[in-house]
Structure 1
Amino acid sequence: MALKLTEIQLLENELWWGGAIHDGVRMPYGAADVEHDLRNLFENSGAPFLVSNRGRYIWQDRPFRFEFRDGTLSIDCEETVNLREGRPGTLKEAFREAAGRHFPAQGRTPDPLAITAPQYCTWMEMHYEPTQQKTMDYAREIIRQGFPPGVLIIDDNWMEDYGTWRFHPLRFPDPKQMTDALHDLGFKVMLWVCPYVSPDSQTGRQLEKKGLLVADEKGKTALRRWWNGCSAVLDYTFPESRAWFKGALDELAERYGIDGFKFDAGDPADDVNGDWVTGYRWKGTDVPNEDCAAYSLMGLHYPLSEYRASWKAGGAPLMQRLRDKPHSWGEDGIRALIPNSIAQGLVGFAFNCPDMVGGGWDGDLGGGAFDPELFVRYAQCSALFPMMQFSTAPWKALDQRLASYCLEAARLRERLGAELLSLADEAAREGTPILRAMAFEFPEAGLEFVKDQYMVGSSILAAPVLGKGETSREIAFPDGIWQGEDGSRVEGPIKLTVQAPLSRLPWYRREASSV
């Protein structure tokens, strides 16, 4: 289909959010020249959706290219652009109208433990060598160190082979005994999975004969090079392929008591230099990104399902994690967490999770790259997100004093668990983000460009420190009386510099009389 160009004049002081989540650091759009093609999701999630602080929004069925320049929003799309005027003209009202029409809340939350307690991933602890003994030792040490039991994610290489989703008998000799013991300790258990299939395995040969693998443009089984090799790809746009995958996962849930799955990969077919290039023949679609949308359907069957890559999954009870980030103080690292998570909420991904505390890049914390201060500030920044996930054990990476600051961040989450669950229930009913932009709650306060603090619901303001060596920070307090966790009391609206030593995560509750 040919692209159609539509030009929309921006209203006075109009700013926009949405599209590709990983681009959240450049949002809000409208004040500077920006362009992006939504066929490229930067190995994260997104939606064909833009929403403005002046009550307008755009939703398309297909990905589109957009550009903000000289007060004009230009959109190249294969469809007629659907620009709607929300009422009464705020970011919150436009979001609510769009969510109700295009990505309504599905009435369910992930398992509550994913929200009230931290999640613990084995990736940085065990890399490609998880075992039953290591997993049990890790779980017991979590508790011994005073951290609350939560969701434990057993990452890559617990299985026999890619696509052969059975526990490796040497590494995990008695999986049922393991999951029973973890449940007794108070944990829920997730397993890492992906849509890739080792082509020379018995499973790969069987799936090829059944026609359940993605084909290339010559009709042969396609091979995709990814971060851990070269594999065939299960055609998850095809109902029979999804049924096969679900059968394998259901067996794990029913036989061993597995509570859910970390659905890794699933990125839109192939992105090369930002251009959509694919030789794949998906049975269920020829529309860019719709393969990614089909992958998200798998997670709806389980109480715990985590995704890094998804498309048009707003309103679903899925755990949406930000893309892996380097151990960095910059906009590629800790400074991306808040703006990208704000973007997640504004496309309907309410149950969002920052990247893992302790890093997700293999080898990233080795040598001189590791910064203990950054580790602590990362934990504090994540503490009041809808979800929080550790990948590296603080007690191993840090000295006792610094590890105690991470423990306090985890315990804060536990103390506020009931409140976070209440917000999750609201998100399940209405689709409202849990983590919110300041402009979402305070549309008249001129806070659209405040991207280093956030609201949890409508009454808690969190303002983590995001700069190396900083022991204070400026906070923009909206109208109202704000009670600090340190006992301070602030009357807004005001910008105020507060003290924040490494031991402190500044957060404030708006007094009920101010609401």
Structure 2
Amino acid sequence: MLVVANEDGERWWGGAVADGALMPFGPGHRRDLAWSAGRPDDPGHGPNQSAPLLLSSAGRYIWSERPFTFEVGAGELRVSGDDLVLDRAGGSLGDAFRGASARFFPPSGRAPARELFTGPQYNTWIEMPYTPTQDQVLGYARRVLDAGLPPGVLMIDDCWSPGYGTWRFDRARFPDPRGMIDRLHEQGFSVMLWLVPFVSPDSATFRDLERRGLLVRDVTGDTAIRRWWNGYSAVLDATDPDGVAWLHGELDALVADHGVDGFKFDAGDLHFYRGTNVEPVDHCEAWARAGERYPFNEFRACWKRGGRPLAQRLHDKPPSWTGDGLASLIPELVAQGLIGHAFTCPDMVGGGEIDAVTRAGAVDQEFFVRYAQIAALAPMTQFSILPDRVLDARHRAAVRAALDLRRTLLPLILDLVDHAAATGEPIVRPMAYHCFEHVNDQFLLGPDLLVAPVLHPGAAERTVLLPPGRWDADNGETFTGPATISTPVDLERIPHFRRA
């Protein structure tokens, strides 16, 4: 065990993205990274973006190539694991990140496809769950354009194929996939397809992969069948180079034959691989490594892979102002960046946890707008629910205003994307990254733009903590920090401040 005595005022970040709201960690926090990267009260399941990395506000970091367990005590940090490295890279949280990144997860020099940042992303999931068809997808794109929204990346989600693992278009649903994708390209959309590492049992694909030994096995040596959210399936072994070569062959054919631009690599969660012949974290990491071949990519689960050109989306969110909903977006976006995942995306605007969205019924229009405002100033923005279907004219105008603001800030966002590709540094940063006081409800885009979105219903003002220096507000006011100010807000305003 490594016992680290905290220096004066030293606080710690890192580990699991789902713990973002708890960072910096207080006494009593415990996380076993080998078991789950989910919520502390949900140890068997939950989202799965994590890394064997802890960073301190005093410039120290802890790393291991393997998962470890850590617990925060009164004045100390206790870490249990193999081959633990404790080192110092300077005197700040930013120094700790840069030192750990350079040594253990250096930047690749590349970013995901530019189009993932320059336009909104649109995912069919909420509008047509399990039922996408060629006509519906084309209709969805047409509704985007008719609403005056810009084209972007269109992701066709679950059930575009005849079965899991059989990665070709279901011709009953998609009679002319090449014609559909050509049409979407003409309209300005790029097209991505959803997939998972699962393989439907009793299918021709299953029989072929099992014969070739490319499926994950359980502890008895038999092919493992795993329960996941859509039923029971076998699992492609992404740690086997032959399995990855098979997958790449299937996906490359979709690119060559139909003009598909890339893929949303779903699942990968650690708990799907427990009790098998592969280490869960190794399979999760291998699944992400397989996706790096495609510049158009998306991941919701990932182990390590910091510094790589991978688009990382937060896990599916409920349509809630608190808890795992809106209140979790900023802390978890910050946490993604601090474990090396710079190319971050909030969940689908309005929430992508389909059962919770369905139970909620009518959309809370103010909630939808405030969610869109956070997403608009994140590195990537993704819609599934179409704003014009669920919002009245006033709230639609507020969403469009957020996208207009994003367009004005896009040069800055793209500069930060390029900076992240070259240096590994987060795009979304906590104030503590630059030695300022930490708060969980505002963030920095790079060092010089402070964003303080509205996070509460019916708000008429927003309290903002300004770091030292002179700051020009979006409403024309100028402030000198350090200071805590109160600034008025309306439905359309996203308070943000530029360092003068």
1:270, distance to aligned residue in structure 2 (A): 4.0
Between the aligned partners of 1:504 and 1:323, the Cα distance in structure 2 is 26
How many angstroms does 1:408 deviate by? 1.5
CA distance, structure 2, for counterparts of residue 367 and residue 205 of structure 1: 39
From 6, 10, 31, give the equivalent of 1:10: 6
Q: Is 1:116–1:418's contact at 8 Å kept on the other side of the alignment?
A: no
Post-superposition Cα deviations, 1:326-367, rounded to whole Å, max 9, x if no partner, equal 111112111111111111101110001111102212243346
Contact in 1 for aligned 2:192/2:261 (Cα 8 Å): yes
Q: 2:28 aligns with which of 22, 29, 33?
A: 33
Counterpart in the other structure of 2:472? 483
Return the alpha-carbon distance in structure 2 between the equivalents of residues 407 and 256 of structure 1: 32
CA displacement, residues 145-196 of structure 1 (integer Å, 9 cap, x when unaligned): 1211111111000111100001110111111111111111111111000000
- Verify: 1:315 aligned to 2:307, yes or no: yes
Per-residue deviation, 1:421: 1.0
TM-score of the superposition, structure 2-length normalised? 0.96
Structure 2 CA distance, aligned partners of 1:373 and 1:398? 9
The alpha-carbon deviation at position 80 of structure 1 amounts to 3.7
Please say if residues 65 and 83 of structure 2, whose CA atoms lie closer than 8 Å, have aligned partners that are also in contact: no
**Could you give the per-residue CA deviations for residues 76-135 of structure 1, whole angstroms, max 9, x where no partner exists?**
11x142110112x11111111110111111011111111122111100011111111111
Contact in 2 for aligned 1:117/1:410 (Cα 8 Å):
no
Residue 154 of structure 1 contacts residue 189 of structure 1 at CA under 8 Å; is this kept in 2?
yes
Match among 11, 15, 19 for residue 15 of structure 2 = 19
* 1:124-139 map, 5 Å: 124-139=126-141
Q: 2:198 aligns to what? A: 196
Residue 259 of structure 2 is matched in structure 1 by: 257
**Counterparts of 1:101-120 in structure 2 under 5 Å?**
101-120=103-122
Alignment of 1:341-356 (within 5 A): 341-356=333-348
Distance, in Å, in 2 between the alignment partners of 1:198 and 1:165 is 11
Runs of 4+ in 1 over 4 A off after TM superposition: none
Deviation sequence 1:314-336 (CA, Å, 0-9, x none): 00111001111111111211111
Q: Which residue matches 2:353?
A: 361
Moved more, 49-58 or 143-152: 143-152
The answer (yes or no) to whether the contact 1:148–1:411 under 8 Å persists in 2 is no
1:292–1:489 distance in 2 versus 1, CA, 3 Å: same
1:73 partner letter: L
Determine the structure 2 residue equivalent to 1:425. Answer: 418
Partner of 1:229: 231
The aligned runs of 1:95-494 (5 Å cut-off) are 95-270=97-272, 278-282=274-278, 286=279, 288-366=280-358, 368=360, 370-441=363-434, 443=435, 445=436, 447-448=437-438, 450-494=439-483
One-letter identity of the residue aligned with 2:353: W
Instruction: Give the structure 1 partner of residue 43 of structure 2.
Output: none
Which AA in structure 2 matches 1:505?
I
Query: Equivalents in 2 of 1:61, 1:319: separation in Å?
Result: 22
Deviation at 1:32, TM superposition (A): 3.0
3-state secondary structure, aligned to 2:292: helix
CA distance in 2, matches of 1:129, 1:481: 52
AA in 1 matched with 2:84: V
Distance, in Å, in 2 between the alignment partners of 1:169 and 1:80 is: 51
What TM-score, normalized by structure 1, do the two folds share?
A: 0.93
Residue of structure 2 in register with 1:504 after alignment: 493
CA distance in 1, matches of 2:368, 2:442: 18
Q: For residue 429 of structure 2, what is the amino acid of its counterpart?
A: R
C-alpha displacement of 1:216: 1.2
**Distance (Å, rounded) in 2 between the aligned partners of 1:432 and 1:171:** 43
1:81 aligned residue (84, 99, 103): 84
Equivalent residue in structure 2 for 1:69, among 54, 70, 73: 73
RMSD of aligned C-alpha atoms? 1.3
* Stretches of structure 1 lacking an aligned partner (at least 5 in a row): 272-277
Cα deviations by residue, 1:8-41 (Å, 9 ceiling, x for unpaired): 1111110111101111111011x33211101211
Mapped partners of 1:251, 1:152: distance in 2:
19
CA distance in 2, matches of 1:147, 1:360: 20
Is the 2:227–2:272 Cα contact (8 Å) retained in structure 1?
no
Contact 1:477 1:493 (C-alpha < 8 Å) held by counterparts? yes
Identity %: 48
- Give the partner amino acid of 1:359: G
**Aligned-residue offset at 1:471:** 2.1
Aligned-residue offset at 1:368: 4.9
Tell me the amino acid that sits aligned with residue 349 of structure 1: H
Change (3 A) 1:295 1:367: closer
Gaps in structure 2 of 5+ consecutive residues: 39-46
1:46 is aligned to 50
> 1:109 is matched by which residue type in structure 2?
A
